[in-house]
Structure 1
Amino acid sequence: MKKGIKIFLIALLLVAVLVVYTFSTYNSLVRMRENVDSKWSQVENQLQRRADLIPNLVNTVKGYAKHEKEIFETLAQARSKLLNSSTVEDKAKANDELSSAISRLLVIVENYPNLKADRTFVQLMDELSGTENRIAVARKDYNEAVKQYNMKIKVFPNVFIARMFGFEERQYFEASSQAKSVPSVDFSK
């Protein structure tokens, strides 16, 4: 073989290796980018789940507080009627109302652990706790995918292919400084 043909074949082989490497790296980067996007989607799904649970939790707490508030208001009104009644008939009627309100309060106190609102609250709290755990796992998985992707686009010689095809670094999902402080929870509103 002539020297020129050998050089041509070697150059052709090098170009073929470079083309194969470029396509392989490009496809790998696309798969990794899609993995990052998929992991982010899971984070968003869990954040949405939490966002959907919060109103139910708040409404349950408000409903439960309203339930207690109603019985206390009924008790206060019945007591006031009793104290302000002047005739026997009015006192008897007020006494019946107060007795009825007290009976309802005792039933509530006696059955407190079995209240549907209480079970709903506990169930919602369990769901919220589970969702918080899912968010932590999804966030960890996302950050791991971002780490692998970012490393892949930064290492030599992949960095040239990544730049050529517009692969950009992804951001980690990190807790903000506000998230590190303990939130204040007030159910009195």
Structure 2
Amino acid sequence: MKKWLIPVIVIAVLVAGFFIIKMIFGVTVNNKAIDLEENAKNSMANVQSAYQRRNDLIGNLVKTVQGAADFERGTLTDVIEARAKATSVNVDASNLSASQIEQFQQAQTGLSSALSKLLVSVERYPELKASQNFSQLQAQIEGTENRINVARDRFNESVKEYNAYIRKFPFSFFGDKSEFEKMSMFKADAGAEEAPDVEFDFK
């Protein structure tokens, strides 16, 4: 064997070995990225499920309130329209873009605002407040709001873990970066950073 062939063979073996190792590690790190991505998508499905539960409860709440004589129709109409808008905005869990999440969040925030106004206006209707059906629905909605917050927090945590993983070694070197993109999180609702005005009427 000619002497010049030895270094060529060594280099060829090293290059081949490098690509084989990269391929093996690439499969491993890609599989981990897939697991983290699927976990985030599942968390988003849980968020949507919690919001859907709220939408269903609001339908029952609207029916209950509609039964009250002379209840403010404008407030009720706002809730009905906000609910329709919120249910019309869908998020594709397989393609969680920042704009999709922002549209979804804006629609849900609009519904939250309309619902808050409705529940405040009920204070002026003692017979409605005293209704056992209304009280049960109100308690269920409050519980659902807590579920929504927990689901959103879990989604953000799973996205944070996924985003960190695809930016760090070993994925940054071995992973298929064309297959995995950074995912967006839920942001705090507009005005959430401001303390609410609280007024106590002791009259």
TM-score, normalised to structure 2's length? 0.56
Q: Is the 8 A contact 1:25 1:158 kept in 2?
A: yes
The alpha-carbon distance between structure 1 residues 177 and 169, as it changes in their structure 2 partners (threshold 3 A), is same
- Residues 180 and 60 (structure 1), Cα distance of their counterparts in 2 relative to 1, 3 Å cut: farther
Is residue 2:54 matched to residue 1:50? yes
Matched residue SS, 1:167: coil
Partner of 1:29: 33
The CA RMSD over aligned residues, in Å, is 3.1
The match for 2:66 among 57, 62, 66 is 62
1:27–1:180 distance in 2 versus 1, CA, 3 Å:
same
- Paired letter, 1:53: L
Which of 129, 149, 152 is matched with 1:139 structurally? 152
Match of 1:17 in 2: 21
Aligned residue number for residue 81 of structure 1 = none
The structure with more helix, counted as a fraction of residues: 1
Consecutive unaligned residues in structure 1, runs of 5 or more: 69-111, 183-189
Change (3 A) 1:132 1:180: farther
CA contact (8 A) 2:29 2:170 kept: no
Q: Are the aligned partners of 2:159 and 2:183 in contact in 1 as well (CA < 8 Å)?
A: yes
Judged with a 3 Å threshold, the aligned counterparts in structure 2 of structure 1 residues 124 and 36 are, in CA distance, closer, same or farther, namely: same
Instruction: Name the larger-Rg structure.
Output: 1
Structure 1 vs Structure 2: percent identity of aligned residues? 36
- Verify the 8 A CA contact 2:54 2:141 in the aligned structure 1: yes
Equivalent pair of 2:33/2:162 in contact (CA under 8 Å): yes
| Distance in 2, Cα, partners of 1:138 & 1:169 | 20
Query: Where in structure 2 are the equivalents of 1:76-115 lying within 5 Å?
Result: none
CA-to-partner distance for each residue in 1:90-124, whole Å, 9 max, x for gaps?
A: xxxxxxxxxxxxxxxxxxxxxx99x9x71111111
Tell me, yes or no, if the aligned pair for 1:43 and 1:142 is still in contact at 8 Å.
yes
| Unpaired stretches in structure 2, ≥5 consecutive residues | 72-125, 197-203
Change in CA separation of 1:33 and 1:127 when aligned onto 2, cut-off 3 Å: same
Q: CA deviation at 1:162?
A: 5.5
Check 1:162–1:23 CA distance in 2 against 1; reply closer, same or farther (3 A cut). closer
* 14 and 160 in structure 1: CA distance in 2 versus 1, 3 angstrom threshold: closer
Structure 1: distance between partners of 2:176 and 2:37 = 14
3-state DSSP class of the match of 2:179? coil
Q: Distance in 2 between matches of 1:32 and 1:20?
A: 19
Structure 1 residues 15 and 161, CA gap change in structure 2 (3 angstroms): closer
1:66 deviation in Å?
2.3
Paired residue secondary structure (1:66): coil
TM-score, length of structure 1 as denominator length:
0.60
Is 1:159 paired with 2:159?
no
Tell me if the contact between 2:47 and 2:155 (Cα under 8 Å) persists in the aligned partners.
yes
Q: Distance in 2 between matches of 1:118 and 1:151?
A: 50
Tell me, in whole angstroms, the C-alpha distance in 2 between the residues paired with 1:51 and 1:177.
21
Query: Structure 1, residues 144-184: CA drift from partner, whole Å, max 9, x if none?
Result: 010001101112452355664231111111222156676xx
Contact 1:49–1:131 (CA under 8 A) maintained in structure 2: yes
- Structure 1 segments, 4+ long, off by >6 Å, are none
